[in-house]
Amino acid sequence: WSVDVTVYVDPTVHRKGVGRALYQQLLPVLEKQGFHAAYAGIALPNAGSIGIHEALGFTHIGTYPEVGFKHGQWHSVGYWR
């Protein structure tokens, strides 16, 4: 009864409310479908993604250090619930 959520927004429209609008539509639908918890994995560092998730009520529950390889380097991935 848990679900992983992800919203990708084109960089040209970052900080224009697109991500928030998508989540404000998605999260109530998931709740109506009976999901108990929503989880978001965020490749770190990513202050913008952390900010929107925490603004929407997600809380940090842990981080896997250097677990993902992206753009030629290792990144930690944090998880928010």
Question: pLDDT for 12-63, tens place per residue?
Answer: 999 999 999 999 999 999 999 999 999 999 999 999 999 999 999 999 999 9
pLDDT tens-place string over residues 67-77: 989 899 999 99
E strands, 1-81, in order:
2-4, 37-43, 60-70, 73-80
pLDDT value of position 70: 87
Q: Are the C-beta atoms of 75 and 65 separated by less than 8 Å?
A: no
CATH number of 2-80: 3.40.630.30
Distances in Å between the Cα of 50 and the Cα atoms of 1, 32, 72 are 23, 25, 22
Decide: residue 28, CB within 10 A, 0-12 exposed, 13-18 middle, 19+ buried: exposed
What local confidence, expressed as pLDDT, does residue 38 receive? 98
Pairing state between β 37-43 and 73-80? antiparallel
